[in-house]
C-alpha cells in the first residue's frame, strides 16, 4: 500500500455513505477476549469526531510520509509501516471484532477500568470500515493507583473521588485499512506485543541467509547482537530485502567493493585468503549491514558517494524515458 492508496482508503471518513458509526472494545489485562464498551448514544458523535480529526491530522495530511514494509524498517523518519511480520494476537483482533455480535459488554460488576490495557476502535459507514489499536498510557485510566480528588459541594473544598475514569484521547498506534495493518507509532509498538521476540526470530533468519552465502568467517560475532533490537532490525532487512543477496552478487565482487568505497576502505578486515569478511568491531559489523543492504551509493551524475537509507526503485521503462529526455535536453 502506498501513501496515496492509504489516503484514498481513508477518504470515506470525510464523506461517509450513510451515518458514520463508531464501536469501541476494551482489552483487559490477563484476558484474551475483548469487551464491548456500551457508551451512551449522545456521547458517540464527539468520540468519532475526535478520532476522525486525528486521522486526518496524523495520517492524511502528512504529505511527506511514505508507507514501507515493516521488515525494512530502519532509522528513516516520516514513515508509516505496513506490518509484514508474524502477527501478534492483539492485532488479529482488529479484524475479528468486526461484525462479531457475540462479544460481551464490559460490565462494571465483573471488571474495573483499571484492568483496561488497550482499546480497539471501529469506524464504519455502509460500505467501508477501519479499526484502530490504541494502547492506553498510564494517564488515560484515572484512578489506577493513587487517590483522586475533585470539586466538593463547597466551592473552596476538594473531596476524594472513589470512581475510576477513562480519559479518551485520539492517539493510536495501529490502523487496519483494506485488510492491511499499518503501524503509525513504531516506537510504541517496539515496546509491546512481544515485538522484540518477533524481530529476533526474523534476525535469526537473516543470519541464516548470511551463513548460506559464506561471506563472514566469524558469524558468531553477529549472533551475539541478535538481542540488540536496532541491529536485529538490520538483520531482518537482510532476510527480507537485501538487494545484494537477491541479485546474487558474487562474494568476490562484494569484497572488492568494500576495498574501494571510501566508507569501507581500510575499515574492514578479511580472512587469510580475503574471501570472507572478519567482523571484529561494531563499526565493521554496521558497515557490513550497509553493504548487504546496498546503502553505500555513488551518484552517476556527480560521482559523489552517499550513505543512503531511502532507495525507491525505478522501472526499466521509466529509466529509459528519463535517459532519453536528458539526452534530448543536452543536445538542444
Mean of the pLDDT values across residues 266-289? 95
What band does 26 get if pLDDT is binned at 50, 70 and 90?
A: very high
- What torsion, rounded to 10 degrees, do the Cα atoms 302, 304, 310, 313 define? 50
Identify the weakest region by mean pLDDT among 142-151, 219-228, 292-301: 142-151
Helix (H, G, I), strand (E, B) or coil at 242: coil
- Cell numbers at 201, concatenated: 526470530
Please state, in angstroms and rounded to a whole number, the distance separating the CA atoms of residues 81 and 180: 10
**Whole-number pLDDT of residue 143:** 63
More confident residue, 331 or 7: 7
Handedness of CA 163, 52, 91, 191 (dihedral sign): negative
More confident residue, 56 or 143: 56
pLDDT at 286 over 90: yes
Comparing CA positions, the residue from 191, 188, 178, 174 lying closest to residue 58 is: 174
Burial 25-39 (b: 16+ CB within 10 A, else e): bbbbeeeeebbbbee
**Whole-number pLDDT of residue 140:** 79
pTM of the shown model: 0.77
Helix (H, G, I), strand (E, B) or coil at 67: strand
Comparing CA positions, the residue from 92, 95, 80 lying closest to residue 185 is: 80
pLDDT at 158 over 90: no
Determine contact, residues 70/83, Cβ cutoff 8 Å.
yes
Handedness of CA 175, 177, 179, 182 (dihedral sign): negative
**Whole-number pLDDT of residue 56:** 96
- Give per-residue pLDDT as tens, 296-325: 887 777 777 767 666 555 545 544 555 454
- Cell numbers at 236, concatenated: 531482518
Please state, in angstroms and rounded to a whole number, the distance separating the CA atoms of residues 207 and 226: 9
Domain boundaries, the chain: 3-137+166-192, 197-318
Please state, in angstroms and rounded to a whole number, the distance separating the CA atoms of residues 32 and 51: 25
Please state, in angstroms and rounded to a whole number, the distance separating the CA atoms of residues 254 and 110: 63
| Spacing of C-alpha 240 from chain mean position | 15
DSSP assignments along 93-134, one per residue: HHHHTTT-TTPPBP-TTT--GGGEEEEEEEEE-SS-EEEEEE
Mean of the pLDDT values across residues 289-295? 92
Please state, in angstroms and rounded to a whole number, the distance separating the CA atoms of residues 108 and 270: 66
- Cell numbers at 13, concatenated: 471518513
Mean pLDDT value across the chain? 85
DSSP assignments along 299-318, one per residue: -TTT--EEE-S------HHH
Amino acid at each position: 500500500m502506498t501513501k496515496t492508496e492509504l489516503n484514498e482508503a481513508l477518504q470515506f471518513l470525510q464523506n461517509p455513505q450513510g451515518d458514520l458509526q463508531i464501536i469501541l472494545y476494551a482489552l483487559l489485562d490477563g484476558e484474551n477476549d475483548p469487551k464491548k464498551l456500551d457508551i451512551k448514544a449522545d456521547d458517540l458523535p464527539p468520540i468519532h469526531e475526535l478520532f476522525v480529526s486525528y486521522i486526518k491530522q496524523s495520517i492524511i495530511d502528512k504529505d511527506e510520509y511514505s508507507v514501507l514494509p515493516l521488515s525494512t524498517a530502519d532509522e528513516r523518519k516520516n514513515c508509516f509501516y505496513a506490518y509484514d511480520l508474524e502477527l501478534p494476537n492483539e492485532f488479529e483482533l482488529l479484524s475479528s471484532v468486526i461484525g462479531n455480535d457475540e462479544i460481551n459488554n464490559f460490565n462494571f460488576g465483573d471488571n474495573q477500568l483499571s484492568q483496561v490495557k488497550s482499546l480497539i476502535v471501529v469506524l464504519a459507514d455502509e460500505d467501508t470500515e477501519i479499526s484502530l489499536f490504541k494502547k492506553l498510557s498510564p494517564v488515560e485510566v484515572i484512578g489506577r493507583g493513587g487517590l483522586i480528588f475533585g470539586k466538593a459541594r463547597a466551592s473552596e473544598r476538594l473531596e476524594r473521588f472513589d470512581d475510576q475514569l477513562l480519559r479518551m484521547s485520539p492517539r493510536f498506534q495501529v490502523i487496519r485499512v483494506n485488510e492491511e495493518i499499518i503501524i503509525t507509532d513504531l516506537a510504541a509498538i517496539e515496546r509491546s506485543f512481544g515485538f522484540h521476540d518477533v524481530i529476533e526470530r526474523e534476525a535469526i533468519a537473516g543470519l541464516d541467509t548470511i551463513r548460506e552465502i559464506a561471506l563472514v568467517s566469524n558469524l558468531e560475532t553477529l549472533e551475539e547482537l541478535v538481542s540488540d533490537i536496532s541491529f536485529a532490525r538490520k538483520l531482518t532487512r537482510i532476510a527480507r530485502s537485501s538487494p545484494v543477496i537477491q541479485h546474487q552478487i558474487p562474494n568476490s565482487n562484494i569484497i572488492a567493493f568494500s576495498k574501494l568505497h571510501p566508507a569501507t576502505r581500510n575499515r574492514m578486515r578479511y580472512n587469510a585468503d580475503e574471501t570472507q569478511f572478519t567482523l571484529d568491531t561494531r563499526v565493521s559489523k554496521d558497515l557490513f549491514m550497509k553493504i548487504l543492504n546496498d546503502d553505500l551509493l555513488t551518484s552517476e551524475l556527480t560521482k559523489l558517494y552517499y550513505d543512503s537509507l531511502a532507495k525507491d526503485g525505478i522501472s526499466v521503462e521509466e529509466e529509459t524515458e528519463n535517459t532519453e529526455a536528458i539526452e534530448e535536453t543536452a543536445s538542444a
